A and B are shown apart, each in its own frame.
Chain A
Amino acid sequence: MIPFDFEYYKPDSITEAIQTFQDIESQGKKVIYYSGGTEFITFSRINKLSADAVIDLKGIPECQVLESLGDLLVIGSAVSLNKIAKSNLFPLLGQAVKQVADHTSRNKITIGGNLHSRLIYREGVLPLLLADAQVKIAGKEGEQVLAFEDVFQQEMKLGPGQFLIQILVEKSYASYQYISIKKTKTSKVGYPVVSLAAIAKDSQIRAAFSGVCAYPFRSAQMEAALNDSSLSIEKRIEQALSRLPAPIVNDIQASREYREFVLINALEDALDALKGAIS
């Protein structure tokens, strides 16, 4: 039961969405974009979020695109996680988002929502970091395409009133060997203790992590260690661990020490799975 009232808008186009946002905001109201809405609903119910109005992006055709266009894969921000997984358009992304929440929830949770989640996990981020993805963003200045890694600085850095329309990935990324590993505390359905996505590109491993630190990340320094073929696997992992960008999380899912242990295993598994494809 959501305790407060809000206005609901479901625009049919990008411009209408941007316009609506500005109109409502200029009335001094708090507006929020709404995609799958699962986070909005569940956080609002427990008084952790509130808004005077929501703008549902699901009516915008561009946000619902899921296709391959020339040498690009185009993924609309309002596409559900299950649709992405089922389409097999970008298998690594499909695999990674299939590990989020439970099957029924994934019919509702969208990739746009997952990338913008207030939780520390945002597991959909990982494949995008690995695939040098681009994002198409709408704002009052119009649409722009930016590199995902520029927009995603520990979290999505969109300007006020902006929203994510699409994710664009070069098709070639769909063909690299990949692995996606999610380790939880107990149940398969649950927040990650460690979530790892990795691909092998040009004989090098690329790896991105969620659940390990307070935000999802990919680290060039860690990858350098993991790709250092002069070292044994154990040493590479040890080196990589010493280069984590932030402290390992210590919370109710797992203690810092145990998380580190799980991370080591996950890295071993990833290196092992990709061993033919990396040097």
Chain B
Amino acid sequence: MQDRTGTAVGKPIQRIDAVEKAAGTVRYIDDYTLPGLAHAKLVKSSYAHAKINSIDSTEAWKVPGVRAIITGKMFPYHIGPILADRPPLAIEKVRYYGEPVAIVVADHEHQAKRAAALVKVDYEPLQVVNSVRDAFQTGAPLVHENSGQYMKIISNVYPVQGTNIGSHIKIRKGDFIKTWEACTTKVKETYSFNLSDHVALETRSTRVEIKSSGKVIIHTTTQSPFTIKKVMNQFFNIELGNIIVHTTIVGGAFGGKGTVQLEPLAYLASKAIGGKMVKLNYEREEDLITAPCHIGVEATISLGTNKDGKIIAGQYTFLIDSGAYTDQAAGITRAMALDCTGPYNVPNVWCDSYCMYTNHPYATSFRGYAHPELTFAVERTMDQLAKKLSIDPIELRKMNTIQPGDTSPTQSVITANNIGDTLKCLERARELIQWDEGQRLEISNNKIRAKGISTFWKTSTTATNAQSGAILKFEADGSVNLNCAAIELGQGTKTILAQIIAERLKLEMNKIHITMEVNSSYDPHQWRTVASSTTFLAGRAVLAACDDAISQLKRTASIALKCSKEDLEVGGGRVYLKPNPDYGVQIKDIALGYQYPNGHAVEGQVVGHGKYIQRHLTPMDKETGFGKPGPWWSVGTQAIEVEWDTRDYTYKILKAVTVLDGGTIINPATATQQMRGGMYLGLSFASSEAFLFDEGGIVQNPQLRTYQIIRFGEQPVEYLVDFIESPAADGPYGARGIGEYGVIGMAGALANSLSAAAQVELNHLPLIPELIWKTKKEHLK
């Protein structure tokens, strides 16, 4: 691990993007317009499952300004990040309400929109698969008749032809069946929630243009510019070098902008009008249901202990509602399996994680990638187990915490270096939530205060070759510019990278310039900005670039100072002699090469470059799950205190606690921002969010009016965030990923607190007062 001088790392340095954001002058993708820009609007399915008999666009063509109307016939192929099962425009049938069926391109957006409403699609309704449970039944109507024939983009995906199973991931560790018989205490419970959404405030938007040279220029809201290149290359046969993806500051993503949906549509639209630039901007309704959303889950967990309360066997069955297509849900299915136990040592594990097709909007990654979802189920089970054993919930967790020497569900060996300190997190959270004053207190006639706890872990489930690159360029004034394709989504990535540079080059923050824009042809390859992996991957790449620059600076300085490189040190905007720091040269005088007094110049500009790629990760074995999924596990504990009204079943969230072992915290202020934001997202999801479907699979709440997220004033009265900093050996300055972690334990902690308050087991989300009322009523029956 790198030594810190403490100039920048560990300091609450103000975000470098905040001033412009406050001024309102930052431009997001939708903020650009150009004369002559054409506009695309989608014709979307009004059924969840129906055969397309015909499409009649006669009336639509009559709208002035219409330039093209495109249907699935133009591109009758399937695409996808893991399993290529999704036609960008529906062909033959539609599989979810809101699915793109045709594109209308017109001079103005309102013309395109008017025409889109006039495209008449003749549908023949098919039987709707409206839940994972229905989907799993033998003889269920099939969402995909030929899933076995789809092309696999990543090897770890196992569709089962003739069923609605899009993938099935197994974990077989130890001997579950035999051990289960020997367990003295057992619990088995089922949990569920519907699909929901990311609701990034910025809706998705894209502009595509095809130049006569063959270059395809894409400006888009994305977390994955290089994945877009890959998709456009793989499925549209465009040379990689001819695909240029630009992105700028993104207005929130939460996983929802990690996959590729709009860009191919806008590409087809541009192609249909001779390559002119076309903009496709989603309205909120489209962003909620046409664009990929957040999975739904039905999970059943059985835990068995020995007589001391040690968990010895666990069975986990996950039915993941991936909606009409697998997209990233296939990867989430895998992630759900590989961390299925939570941060507990379970020697015998049997896990079946199924990615299920249904006729719902399709799902993609969501901040936490399977972990908020599995943690909700695991942590509810832990509380119910504690109750059965009459053990304090925190004590039960402590007794079963996974420790160095134990193995994960995929049989990866846990070491002191690759995992954080769960016990410390538990202890600190216990203090912060004041657990010992009592889990449930009656404070007045009809008010109960209750607490719930949740521990969690998450490995960074990246591709085994996930990587990042960085280039440092110097200005003639000695300041540096960083090119790196890590994307600023609001998480503060660019600030963190600047801090790492400042620390390494011992330079002031204001000497570091970081472009917010990413351009795939100038910036080095970056896997994606997801999976809490960016501080780690890009951070390491940036460090390597700094080291490279330092070595170049020293070399030039050694000429200027007529000494050996080894005697030199870089810092404070200078390169100087270690034994005599007063003797040195300013970086500005050597940044573009050194010039002798006689005018001769040597060495030239300093261009530092660096890269980092994941090491020794392996895919999972098909039958047992054996494999090494990630470089480390971040762990943490979260807690919630609620005040619940026994009369009307409403509640207020008083306290939300997060204690995370995120390794070294590069910027405590942005890290706290991230935690609070994550906690909020998790609480909003757990307390109020879900798509509601009618019998026909039609989403009943496709607007923010009815798809409600937590508003100002409804957040926890108090957020308490603390970090345990066990450094990660591999991380930049010992940092681990933290971006997703605030979300993970919230649903579990909230459900545990409310279950304690209402004295019923609340195993379904969202935890609206009506659900508590209903559960209580059924319980009393």
Contacts and interface: CB of A to CB of B under 8 A. Distances in A.
Contacts, number: 54
A262 interface: yes
Contacts of A191: 705-706
B768 A186 contact: yes
A157 interface: no
Contacts of A4: 110, 114
B708 A186 contact: yes
Nearest to B711: A187
Given A1-B110, A252-B700, A185 B770 contact: yes
22 contacts: A1-B110, A3-B110, A3-B113, A4-B114, A46-B285, A47-B117, A183-B648, A186-B687, A186-B688, A186-B714, A186-B769, A187-B710, A187-B711, A188-B711, A188-B713, A190-B705, A190-B708, A191-B706, A252-B700, A258-B770, A258-B774, A261-B773
B299 to A, nearest CB: 24
B708 A262 contact: no
B283 interface: yes
Contacts of B687: 186
A3 B43 CA distance: 14
A254 B706 contact: no
B617 interface: no
A87 interface: no
Interface string A1-23: 11111000000000000000000
A254 B774 CA distance: 11
B85 interface: no
B720 interface: no
A47 B117 CA distance: 8
Contacts of A1: 109-110, 113, 283
Interface string B665-691: 000000000000000000000011000
Interface in A241-278: 252, 254-255, 258, 261-262, 265
Contacts of B109: 1
Interface string A181-198: 001011111110000000
Contacts of A2: 110
A255 B692 CA distance: 13
Interface in B249-291: 283, 285
Interface of B: 109-110, 113-114, 117, 283, 285, 647-648, 687-688, 692, 700-701, 705-706, 708, 710-711, 713-714, 768-770, 773-774
A265 B648 contact: yes
A237 to B, nearest CB: 14
Contact of B770 (A45, A47, A255): A255
Interface secondary structure of A, over-half rule = loop
A186 B711 CA distance: 10
Contacts of A252: 692, 700-701, 706
Which 3 A-B residue pairs are closest in the complex by CB-CB distance? A3-B114, A3-B113, A186-B688
Nearest to A185: B768
Contacts of A45: 283
B701 A258 contact: no
A2 B108 CA distance: 12
Nearest to A259: B770
Contacts of B708: 185-187, 190
Given A186-B687, A189-B711, A262 B648 contact: yes
Contacts of A254: 770
Contact of A3 (B117, B711, B714): B117
A253 to B, nearest CB: 8
Contacts of A190: 705, 708
A265 B647 contact: yes
User: Considering residues B648, B688, B769, which has the most beta carbons from chain A within 10 angstroms of its beta carbon?
Assistant: B769
B222 to A, nearest CB: 23
Nearest to A193: B770
A244 to B, nearest CB: 19
User: Considering residues A3, A5, A183, A265, which has the most beta carbons from chain B within 10 angstroms of its beta carbon?
Assistant: A3
Nearest to A253: B706
Nearest to A4: B114
Given A252-B701, A258-B770, 16 more contacts: A2-B110, A3-B110, A3-B114, A45-B283, A185-B708, A186-B688, A186-B714, A186-B769, A187-B688, A187-B710, A188-B713, A188-B714, A191-B706, A254-B770, A255-B770, A261-B773
A189 B769 CA distance: 16
A45 B773 CA distance: 37
Interface in A141-196: 183, 185-191
A191 B700 CA distance: 14
A180 to B, nearest CB: 17
A98 B688 CA distance: 23
Contacts of A189: 711
A151 B110 CA distance: 38
Nearest to B285: A46
A264 B285 CA distance: 35
A182 B328 CA distance: 41
A4 B769 CA distance: 41
A261 B647 CA distance: 10
Interface in A183-229: 183, 185-191
B16 to A, nearest CB: 31
A208 to B, nearest CB: 21
A188 B650 CA distance: 12
Contacts of B706: 191, 252
A190 B710 CA distance: 11
A186 B769 CA distance: 7
A259 to B, nearest CB: 9
A43 to B, nearest CB: 12
Contacts of A47: 117
A118 B344 CA distance: 54
B103 to A, nearest CB: 16
B452 to A, nearest CB: 19
A187 B114 CA distance: 34
Contacts of B705: 190-191
Contacts of A46: 285
Contacts of A255: 770, 774
Contacts of B692: 252
Contacts of B110: 1-5
A131 to B, nearest CB: 28
User: Considering residues B110, B706, B768, B770, which has the most beta carbons from chain A within 10 angstroms of its beta carbon?
Assistant: B770
A189 B773 CA distance: 21
A275 to B, nearest CB: 17
Nearest to B688: A186
A187 B706 CA distance: 10
Contacts of A183: 648
A191 B705 CA distance: 8
A46 B285 CA distance: 9
A187 B648 contact: no
Nearest to A265: B648
A2 to B, nearest CB: 7
Contacts of B113: 1, 3
A83 to B, nearest CB: 23
B666 to A, nearest CB: 35
Nearest to B692: A252
A150 B767 CA distance: 43
Contacts of A3: 110, 113-114, 117
B450 to A, nearest CB: 19
Nearest to A254: B770
Nearest to A258: B770
A258 B773 CA distance: 8
Contacts of A261: 773
Contacts of B701: 252
B714 A187 contact: yes
A56 to B, nearest CB: 20
A70 B701 CA distance: 47
Nearest to A47: B117
A251 to B, nearest CB: 8
A96 B687 CA distance: 26
A51 to B, nearest CB: 14
A265 B114 CA distance: 47
Contacts of A265: 647-648
Interface string A67-99: 000000000000000000000000000000000
